[in-house]
Amino acid sequence: MTARLWLYATGTYDQNLPFADNDRPGIMAARACGRLAFRWGVQPGRRVVVVGSSPYAGTLAAGLTAAGVDTEVVAPDREQVVRAVGQRRVRSLELASAKSPDDGRRIVRSDVVAVAAVPAPASELPRHHGAEVAMDPAGGGFVVRVDQRFATTVADVHACGDVTGYVGSAVAAAAGRAAGASVAVLLKGTP
């Protein structure tokens, strides 16, 4: 495929958090849990533990609580998930203090764990073009570097929205509109 100009708005993908047995059935991305509950009206479980520090963690917990789901939030700056407990599916989480993990642990019962890690920018395609990326943990990982006109470090390759660092759908949509307008001006000047 050839193009006069490339504009990547590839968004993000959900990440899991590193803890033992984090692949048990019943452990899912917070955004998936929210889609089930709020878009499709499916109660994700009787007791949901939301783990993570992304802005979506609080939104999901409040929405689930309002829908009648027993919900608890585990903030990684206060507690770390040591492991998921359960053989066929998650039944509980073992937690330790983030400041002093050896000072005792607690078990939190749960039939669903919603992981609310900061989503990772889907930067693979701009990187294949040679666009420069930078590690930004707050932005979700490797973010594509752009200037104020959304141009990357490679001529004729632009990027906008969450691929340049996780900002959420409203801010990403605004960036998409601005990037589209910027690219349209550039394309009018090319043969």
Question: Residue 10 has what pLDDT?
Answer: 96
Rounded distance, CA 106 to CA 191, Å?
Answer: 65
Domain with CATH 3.50.50.60 in the chain: 6-13+119-188, 27-115
Q: In whole angstroms, what is the distance from residue 36 CA to residue 30 CA?
A: 10
27-115 classified as CATH 3.50.50.60: yes
Q: Supply the mean pLDDT for the chain.
A: 93
Reported confidence tier of residue 160, pLDDT bands at 50, 70, 90:
very high
Determine the pLDDT at residue 191: 58
Determine the pLDDT at residue 157: 97
More confident residue, 144 or 100: 144
User: What distance, in Å, lies between the first and last C-alpha atoms of the chain?
Assistant: 18
Residue 190's pLDDT is: 65
pLDDT in tens, 106-132: 999 999 999 999 999 999 999 999 999
6-13+119-188 has which fold? FAD/NAD(P)-binding domain (3.50.50)
Q: What is the mean pLDDT of residues 142-153?
A: 97
Mean pLDDT of 10-31: 94
Confidence (pLDDT) at 2? 83
Give yes or no for residue 55 having a pLDDT over 90: no
Average pLDDT of the residues in 25-52 = 94
The whole-angstrom separation of Cα 8 and Cα 162 is 10
